[in-house]
Amino acid sequence: PGEAMTASGPNDTTSGVAEHHGFYTRRRPSSLVHPVLWTKEQRRASTMAPGTANHQVVKRAMSMDDSRMPASSEVQSKCTFCRLALNSKANEVLYRDDDFVVIRDIKPAATHHFLVLPIRHMTDAKHLTASDIGTIKKMHEIGQTVLKGAGAPMDNMRMGFHWPPFQTIKHLHLHCLAPVSDMGYFNKKVAFRPDSWCFVTVEWLLNRLEAMTER
């Protein structure tokens, strides 16, 4: 999802391992940011003498991008989901703990359509790493709890993340939908189609993140 499509699957700018999903192949990118996408600081690190203090400090940025950095107050003020998550009195919030909130999707694609958001600003599923496995598992657990509490059929649900560039708001959020059988054709087969170009399931994402720990 989010990469150029070919007959064999998305093309990624980084090398990786091909993962087969039925009729197409998804290429799992490597954990490092491709040199084409390096920031000025990352390019500086590549030219510094190895072993120097400055080199070690800047080099750590070479496997990171802006989505991994703490959100500034400016980012939080502009992000719709940050404002909701940080507003303890927001009427839209159905569930809240120290790390996550749950809201209803303003354009529901199913009878029950909830979004689980981390309070900390995280951009999207594509930029997650193995260190985020616990976050995704907790979001999944919360989503199941909220769906069950709403009386949704647990054997007829769908949960997952939109993949860039198909994510409309750049703040990580887990879609929790039920019942799938009542969803319209477009939402069921295109917008929220499991492990497609635009939407990936929790299971697929966890497999991707866990594979990063094996490298």
Q: Could you read off the pLDDT tens digit of each residue along the chain, which spans 215 residues? A: 443 333 333 334 333 434 444 433 344 443 333 333 334 444 454 444 545 544 444 344 333 444 444 566 677 778 999 998 988 777 789 999 999 999 999 999 999 999 999 999 999 999 999 999 999 999 999 999 999 999 999 999 999 999 999 999 999 999 999 999 999 999 999 999 999 999 999 999 999 999 998 76
Same domain as 90, residue 145: yes
Residues 75 and 131 placed together within one structural domain of the fold: yes
Q: Do the domain assignments include residue 200?
A: yes
Residues 28, 107, single domain; the answer is: no
Catalytic residue positions, numbered: 173
Same domain, 108 and 27: no
Query: Given CA atoms 64, 66, 68, 73 in this order, what sign does their dihedral have?
Result: positive
- Residues 162/170, Cβ–Cβ less than 8 Å: no
112 lies in the same domain as 144: yes
- Of 112, 100, 85, the C-alpha closest to 183 is 112
Would 60 be classed as within a structural domain? yes
Task: Give SS3 for 40.
Answer: helix
Task: Residue 109: give the domain boundaries.
Answer: 70-215
Evaluated on CA atoms 182, 80, 196, 152, the torsion sign reads negative
Rounded distance, CA 48 to CA 84, Å?
Answer: 42
Residue 88 and residue 36 in one domain: no
Q: What is the CATH number of the domain that holds 121?
A: 3.30.428.10
Neighbours of 199 (CB within 10 A): 23
Judge if 123 and 196 occupy the same domain. yes
Distance of CA 126 to the CA centre of its chain: 5
Q: Are residues 120 and 164 in the same domain?
A: yes
The answer on 196 and 142 residing in a single domain is yes
Strand order in the sheet with 100-104: 93-96, 100-104, 112-118, 174-178, 158-162, 199-201
**pLDDT at site 49:** 52
Same domain, 76 and 164: yes
CA torsion angle 79 167 115 208 (round to 10): -120
Maximum distance among all alpha carbons in the chain? 60
In this structure, is residue 27 part of a structural domain?
yes
The closest of 201, 125, 136 to 163, measured between CA atoms, is: 125
With tokens 């090398």, the residue in question is: 15
The answer to the question of residue 1 being in a domain is: no
Task: Point out the domain boundary residue: 49, 64, 79.
Answer: 64
Our count of domains for the chain comes to: 2
Does residue 157 belong to any structural domain of this protein?
yes
Q: Following DSSP, what letter does each residue of 4-70 receive, concatenated? A: EE-SS-EE-SS-EEEEEETTEEEEEEPSSPPGGG--HHHHHHHHSPTTSHHHHHHHGGGG--GGGSP
In a domain, 2, yes or no: no
Q: What 3-state class would DSSP assign to 17? A: strand
CB 115 within 8 A of CB 105: yes
Within this chain, do residues 32 and 106 fall inside the same structural domain, yes or no? Answer: no
Whether residues 121 and 213 fall in one domain: yes
